[in-house]
């Protein structure tokens, strides 16, 4: 919790001389205030890593998590969060790549989606060169530990663009891959781009209208905002990382 909530809890239990216990993995929240209390010996702290010994209940003969399972989990985690999730460390070590399994030799090639999959388009609104980006992907069932991803194509603006330009580029990207807006199962667009001094603003709803008009189709679709929550970036990165480890993240060249 934030420090003010912690302080309020202390007041609530003071009358009956109670105690507050907290179990935590220090990722995605400010923890320096708690660390300062611990170092000042005002809060007692106990650290336990994820090991078979720590996962063996008193009196049990075997742990409920094996070292092999822990190693599998370690592979799925992003490198910079392993120390926190597996060893009880305060901070991760942001060293090297986020995606340590990134391998262009095995990931890049003339790949095509196979099996059951859905087509999606992701859009990052922007006003300058290389700021407006759209990507065409295919995915199978996607969750932590399973799923396949194919990056089929992309469209990157080489200068300032209007919503009309962005719509044309997206339709061209679909067309050169033998697709239309009716073939897209889901659309994800970024938060509105305000432009400079209100000029050149962009949004999902505005792009929807322009796309529908330019496509000359009665097919209705909606560009949804991405679902963002605390830790959502790390969660999404972890899914991509796990796909890369299983050699199930492919990029068509």
3-state secondary structure 152-190: EEEEECCCCCCHHHHHHHHHHHHHCCCCCHHHCCEEEEC
d(CA 79, CA 245): 12
Strand order in the sheet with 133-139: 108-109, 249-252, 149-156, 133-139, 118-124, 186-189, 223-224
For 22-79, write each residue's pLDDT tens digit: 888 877 777 889 999 999 999 999 988 999 999 998 888 888 999 999 988 888 788 8
Phi, psi of 199 (to 5 degrees): -95, 135
Q: Which of 1, 145, 26 is nearest to 85 (CA)?
A: 26
Going by the DSSP 8-state scheme, the letter that residue 81 receives in this structure is G
The pLDDT tens digits of the residues spanning 181-234 come to: 999 999 999 877 766 554 457 888 888 888 988 887 777 788 998 888 777 888
* Residue 129: per-residue pLDDT: 61
Give the Å distances, CA to CA, from 221 to 121, 134, 164, 208.
12, 16, 17, 8
Percent helix, percent strand, percent coil in the chain, to nearest 5 = 35, 15, 50
Q: What is the pLDDT of residues 148-188, one digit of tens each?
A: 899 999 999 888 888 899 999 999 999 999 999 999 999 99
Q: How far apart are CA 253 and CA 235, in angstroms?
A: 27
- Give tens-digit pLDDT for 90-135: 877 666 677 888 888 999 999 989 888 999 999 988 766 667 899 9
> Which pLDDT score is estimated for 62?
87
Considering Cα of 9, then 12, then 17, then 18, what sign does the dihedral take? Answer: negative
pLDDT of residue 101: 83
Which carries the bigger pLDDT value, residue 146 or residue 21?
21
pLDDT at 199 (0 to 100): 47
User: Which residues fall within 8 angstroms of residue 105, CB to CB, at 6 or more apart?
Assistant: none
């Amino acid at each position: 919790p934030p420090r003010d909530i912690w302080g309020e809890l202390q007041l609530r239990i003071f009358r009956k001389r109670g105690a507050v216990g907290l179990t935590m993995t220090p990722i995605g929240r400010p923890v320096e205030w708690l660390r300062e209390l611990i170092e000042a010996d005002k809060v007692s702290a106990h650290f336990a890593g994820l090991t078979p010994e720590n996962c063996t209940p008193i009196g049990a003969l075997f742990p409920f998590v094996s070292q092999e399972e822990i190693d599998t989990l370690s592979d799925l985690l992003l490198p910079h969060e392993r120390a926190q999730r597996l060893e009880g460390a305060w901070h991760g070590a942001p060293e090297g790549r986020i995606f340590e399994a990134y391998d262009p030799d095995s990931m890049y090639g003339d790949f095509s989606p196979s099996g059951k999959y859905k087509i999606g388009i992701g859009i990052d609104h922007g006003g300058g060169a290389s700021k407006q980006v759209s990507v065409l992907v295919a995915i199978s069932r996607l969750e932590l530990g399973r799923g396949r991803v194919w990056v089929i194509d992309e469209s990157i603006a080489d200068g300032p663009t209007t919503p009309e330009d962005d719509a044309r580029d997206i339709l061209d990207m679909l067309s050169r891959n033998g697709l239309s807006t009716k073939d897209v199962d889901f659309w994800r667009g970024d938060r509105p781009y305000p432009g400079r001094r209100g000029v050149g603003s962009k949004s999902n709803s505005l792009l929807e209208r322009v796309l529908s008009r330019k496509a000359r189709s009665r097919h209705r679709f909606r560009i949804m905002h991405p679902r963002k929550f605390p830790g959502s970036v790390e969660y999404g990165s972890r899914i991509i990382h796990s796909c890369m480890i299983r050699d199930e993240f492919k990029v068509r060249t």
